[in-house]
Amino acid sequence: MKHAAHAFWLNSPGHGEIREVTLPEPASDEVLVRSVFSGVSRGTETLVFRGGVPESQYAAMRAPFQDGEFPGPVKYGYLSVGVVEDGPAALLGRTVFCLYPHQTRYVVPASAVTPVPDSVPAARAVLAGTVETAVNALWDAAPMIGDRIAVVGAGMVGSSVAALLARYPAVRVQLVDADPGRARIAAALGVDFALPEDALGDCDLVVHASATDGGLARSLELLAPEGTVLEMSWYGDRRVSVPLGEAFHSRRLVVRSSQVGAVSPARRSRRTFADRLALALELLADPAFDALVTSECAFEELPDAMPRIAAGELPGLCHRVAYSSG
Instruction: Check if 3-127+284-322 and 130-257 are the same fold.
Output: no
C-alpha separations of 326 from 20, 105, 167, 272, 276 in Å: 15, 10, 40, 35, 32
**How far, in Å, CA of 66 to CA of 151, rounded?**
31
- The CATH architecture assigned to 3-127+284-322 reads Alpha-Beta Complex (3.90)
Q: How far apart are CA 23 and CA 150, in angstroms?
A: 46
> Residues 291, 127: contact at Cβ < 8 Å?
no
Question: pLDDT digit string (tens) for 120-157?
Answer: 999 999 999 999 999 999 999 999 999 999 999 999 99
Q: What is the pLDDT along the chain (326 residues), one digit of tens a residue?
A: 567 899 999 999 999 999 999 999 999 999 999 999 999 988 889 989 999 999 998 998 899 999 999 999 999 999 999 999 999 999 999 999 999 999 999 999 999 999 999 999 999 999 999 999 999 999 999 999 999 999 999 999 999 999 999 999 999 999 999 999 999 999 999 999 999 999 999 999 999 999 999 999 999 999 999 999 999 998 877 888 888 988 899 999 999 999 888 899 999 999 999 999 999 999 999 999 999 999 999 999 999 999 999 998 988 899 999 998 65
Domain 130-257: which CATH number of 3.30.2420.10, 3.40.50.1110, 3.40.50.720, 3.30.470.10: 3.40.50.720
Give the number of C-alpha atoms closer than 13 A to the C-alpha of residue 98, restricted to the C-beta side: 33
CA–CA separation, 58 vs 79, rounded Å? 19
Q: What's the pLDDT tens digit per position in 186-225?
A: 999 999 999 999 999 999 999 999 999 999 999 999 999 9
13 preceded by cis ω (within 30°)?
A: no
Task: Return the bridge partners of 105, or none.
Answer: 34
Domain positions in the chain are 3-127+284-322, 130-257
Cis peptide before 26 (omega within 30 of 0): no
Strands 148-152 and 203-208: parallel
- Reported pTM: 0.91
3-state SS record for the chain: CCEEEEEEEEEECCEEEEEEEEECCCCCCEEEEEEEEEEECHHHHHHHHCCCCCHHHCCCCCCCCCEECCCCCEECCCCEEEEEEECCCCCCCCEEEECCCCECEEEEEHHHEEECCCCCCHHHHCCHHHHHHHHHHHHHHCCCCCCEEEEECCCHHHHHHHHHHCCCCCCEEEEECCCHHHHHHHHHHCCEEECHHHCCCCEEEEEECCCCHHHHHHHHHCEEEEEEEEECCCCCCCCCCCCCCCCCCCCCCEEEECCCCCCCCCCCCCCCHHHHHHHHHHHCCCHHHHHHEEEEEEHHHHHHHHHHHHHCCCCCCEEEEECCCC
Report phi then psi at 200, rounded to 5.
-75, 135
Mean confidence (pLDDT) of the chain: 94
